[in-house]
Amino acid sequence: MFASQALARTTTYSPEEYLRNYALSTCIAQGYQSEEVKNDAAAAARGYLEFGDYSLEAHTAVIAPGKTFLEKTYGSQSGEPMTLAKCIDFMHSRELDALIRRYKNQPDQ
């Protein structure tokens, strides 16, 4: 059983939350070099896509803004790139909120 399927069976999200979780997962998959992290985040994203109600177009639309957030420069005392913070900020961003509203109740075309 895939981890995302196990998660989906024990936790129920609204359609908006599934899309937001998908956006976070794809951001993490894009932001890290570690194959373990990339693969796990991609698997989670596939699960959120499968169980969510938003269109494929909506899921595709949230990928580019995630990349934009990853390109931002965050200052840190340690010099780390703050990749996870960027993805979390993206998950709570106005940009993502606008996309979620835009694609709400929009069928695949």
User: Which domains, ranges and CATH numbers included, belong to the chain?
Assistant: 16-103 (1.20.120.1620)
User: What would the pLDDT profile of 39-61 be if each residue is shown by its tens digit?
Assistant: 999 999 999 999 989 999 999 99
User: What would the pLDDT profile of 10-40 be if each residue is shown by its tens digit?
Assistant: 688 999 999 999 999 999 999 999 999 999 9
User: pTM to 2 decimals?
Assistant: 0.87
How far is the C-alpha of 20 from the C-alpha of 103, rounded, in Å? 12
Query: CA separation (Å) from 109 to 48, 54, 55, 101?
Result: 20, 12, 8, 17
